[in-house]
Amino acid sequence: MNPNNTPPPAKEPSTKSRNPPSSYYNAFTLSYYDLHVLGHNMTYIWRCPTRTVQLPLFQKHFWTTAASADKVPVGKRHGQGQCWEHLDIGAGTGYFVAEALQTCLEKVTPGSPPLRITLMDINSSSLTKAQRRIEGVVDRFRGGDMVKVRTVRHDVLDGDLLPEELGKGKGGGYDVVTMFNVLHCLRTTGEKKRGVFGLAAGLLREGGVLVGCTVLPGREYQPGGLGGWRVRYTLWLYNRVYKVFGNEGDTKGELEEGLRGAFEWVEVEVVGSVMTFVAWGPRRENSLMR
């Protein structure tokens, strides 16, 4: 009974993770993340080197590089002077954004649109490290008038209750959403994991693009001999012991199906044990923000 007929209090976006691996990352583990995870593991375990495969894919869809390749002029698409909006889900150490930003700032032109970077992660340590790293690049190139960085602490699995900072309503305002090395860390399966694509679709503008990559567990993506044994051992260690992975049930087919359910056009490629994906043309009827 509610004698005063008052509405229940509104729910607040969650800052408590439904995904235990997020708690693994702290100031100490993040201090060697780039060297161990993005360096050693990506090169020698998953056979998809960060600097030659993943980073070029990220850079291709980042700010001035993407804006110059866009068939729709920025001014006409947004209204003159409005920002190029980039949402990075799973901030990590800020490596990808910082590297791509440095490349763009080295050759930025006066006609380039201003850039607003939104970092989304449930882990406050990741957000702090990533923001400091990226703002360090901005300061070094004196790009404070062109580039703004903000953080949003939120669990990507909690797509039903988004923070106000991310924007709401039919059709989001982001030009690009990036999701690099996030999906294989989500300890959930099936519809819940594929629902992350619907979240991204709802946050993108009409012509926006989702770009990302994830580690696949299937033996068909593993080398023979000792190399394959190392891959399987690492998957077992990360999924069962450290519990920082949650990809034992992931398949290329199911993930691609989830992407095609949320986007009109999808491109996927497998390099080593890693699936990269680019998806554009968000389907509003299947997004989580319709």
pLDDT at residue number 19 = 55
- CA-nearest of 154, 161, 157, 151 to 185 is 157
Q: Where are the domains of the chain?
A: 37-156+167-286
pLDDT at residue 266, rounded to an integer: 98
* Predicted local confidence at residue 230, as pLDDT: 97
pTM value > 0.85: yes
Q: What is residue 138's three-state secondary structure?
A: helix
Structural contact between residues 72 and 83, judged by C-beta atoms closer than 8 angstroms: no
Contact 126/92 with Cβ under 8 angstroms?
A: yes
148 - beta bridge partners?
116
CATH topology of domain 37-156+167-286: Rossmann fold (3.40.50)
pLDDT category, 116, cuts 50, 70, 90? Answer: very high
80 falls in which pLDDT band (50, 70, 90)? very low
Q: How confident is the model at residue 74 (pLDDT cuts 50, 70, 90)?
A: very low
Confidence bin at 72 (pLDDT 50/70/90): very low
Residue 8 above 70 pLDDT? no
Q: Which helix (H) or strand (E) holds 91?
A: none
- Over the chain, what is the mean pLDDT? 87
The pLDDT tens digits of the residues spanning 87-104 come to: 999 999 999 999 999 999
For 121-141, the pLDDT digits (tens) are 999 999 999 999 999 999 999
Any idea which residue has 């000792």 for tokens? Answer: 226
